[in-house]
Each structure stands twice: as C-alpha cells, then as structure tokens.
Structure 1
Amino acid sequence: MNLPFLVGFRVDNCSIERTLDIVGEKWTFLVLREAFSGVRRFADMQAITGAPRQVLSARLTRLVDEGLLRKEPYREPGQRQRDEYRLTDKGRDLYPLLVALMHWGDKYMADAEGPPVLLTHRDCGAPVELHFHCTEGHEVAGPREVTPVPGSGAGDRSA
C-alpha cells in the first residue's frame, strides 16, 4: 500500500490488509452474513450459502480461531454432539462493514427490480442507513472530508 500521506511511515502493519487477511474472501463474508441473520448450524449454513463442505469447514475454523465466532455444543435427541457457531463481540463489530457492502451492492449491482433485502429498524420499521461522523458529531460525507494522519502504530521508515 503506497499512500502519499504515509510517505516516510511504515505501513507493513496496515489494518485494512490485516482485516482482509481474515475476512477478505467470498465464502467468509457469506458465512458472516448468515451468522448475522441468526444461522448457527453447519448444515444450515452450507444449504443457504452453497459452500462446499471443506471450504465451509475451513472458513468456520478460521473465524473461530480469529475470535469472530465461538463454538457452542448442542445435541439433538439420538444424535451425536455438534457445534453451533455464534458471533462474538469481535464478530458483531463487523456488522457495519457487511451493511456497507450490502448498500453498495444495492446501489450498483442489484437487479432492475431492486435490492433483494431491506434492513429496517426493529423498533420503528424505518430503513437503516450508515453515516460517518467525527467524534465531535459532524457528519462526514466522504473521503474528501477526511485527512489521514499517521497513527501511533505508523512507525518511522527512516529508522
């Protein structure tokens, strides 16, 4: 990543890159989509996503290892013990990212009929929207209103 505002600073610890190392793959996002929808069991996730068994198993294992999902054992009568997959706080914190991807897809990729799913507020029924605000409460309309500055983890390249 070669960003002009980071000239002279180390970016080998890029947060975007590290996040994509974990979630930057189609099946992972589809697993997370289903987890946010309340799907917890392997067979249900496989049926809904269409993911090959080995791929789904690998993605669930990685999400558990990274702390985005946790396993919870359950047993149906007469069956062996199995695991359900539940979101952790770390996993739930990805919800705005998935909603942003969905809204982008609704705007640019949806069929002529419109988006397949609408998100509404459970309490009042109004559509859910994402907005950026600074810590002072000002709405931030887009990247031209943001100034990147080196953070504490930027480091000095000249060292």
Structure 2
Amino acid sequence: MVISQSCQNAVLFDRIFFFFFFSFFFFFFFFFFFFFFFFFFLTRSYCWKGADEEQRMRQPTATWACGGGGGSGGCAGGGDEEPVLVTPSTPRAHARIAAFVICAARSLVIALQWRVKRGQIPVSRTAVLPGLVLLLFIIILIIILLLLLLLLLIIIIIIIII
C-alpha cells in the first residue's frame, strides 16, 4: 500500500507537534515543581521567620470594635466600642504569603548586590540564599524559554522545507 506524500507530511507534522507540545509541558511543569519545592524547603525557615516577625511588628496588639451593648457610641448598631485583642500568633495567610514574597524579592536584591560587590555587604549567607535561588530560577527559565523558541524555529523550518 502506497502512502501519499501529503499523508506522510501530516504524520510527520503530528509527531513534531506532539513532541514539541509534550516536551514543553514536561520541562515547564517539572521545572516549576522542582523550583517551588526547592525554593520553599531551602528558604522556608529564613523567610517564614522574617514573615512572622514582620507580621508581629505590623499587627496591633489591640484594636477597637463595636460591642453588643446598647450604648449610644459611635458604632452603627448603637453599641459601645470595646477593645478586641488581636494576637500576633494568628497572622492572616495572605499577609504571611505577601511577606514571604517580599522577603524573597528583597533577598534577590541583596544577592545581586552581594554578587557584584563580592561579599562587601555585611549580610549572612542565609539572607542571600533565597535571592540566589530566585536568580537561578530566572536564569534557568530564560534558558528553557530560549531552547523552546529554538525548537519551535526548527519545527517551522522543517515544515517549510516539507
């Protein structure tokens, strides 16, 4: 049985397309899962501790809220204002995550300066570590994207030749 040239081209195109598609998603997801696990476990103690300290500094020890009493205070329901204790040991999750991201970004800036000045900044290595990991992540991500762009260019050239 003779297979036509257009059918062979379609099969070749499908193979190239699926190779590109699956390789892209394999590298992309593997890289991101690896990065997040690596970054989280490597920097968790430094950044979570910093996030907790920042949260404790920003969070008030007591705030005023409307009570259930029937007074004529400034509350909308007519109740009196009474102090409500907000403990620092229960930070909000989004504030903690935001502090973690800020910590990583600050560490990246420290790492970039530390890399240029070769240790002239008086910071510990644990402060630089999250930034170096983030910098490594950005470099590897750029390399992977360039390789995928090269692969796409090769696929386009093969399709044009065929």
TM-score range, shorter chain: under 0.3
Of Structure 1 and Structure 2, the greater helix share is in 2
Higher RCO (CA-CA < 8 Å; seq separation 6+): 1
User: TM-score, normalized by length of structure 1?
Assistant: 0.27
User: TM-score, normalized by length of structure 2?
Assistant: 0.27
* Structure showing greater Rg: 2
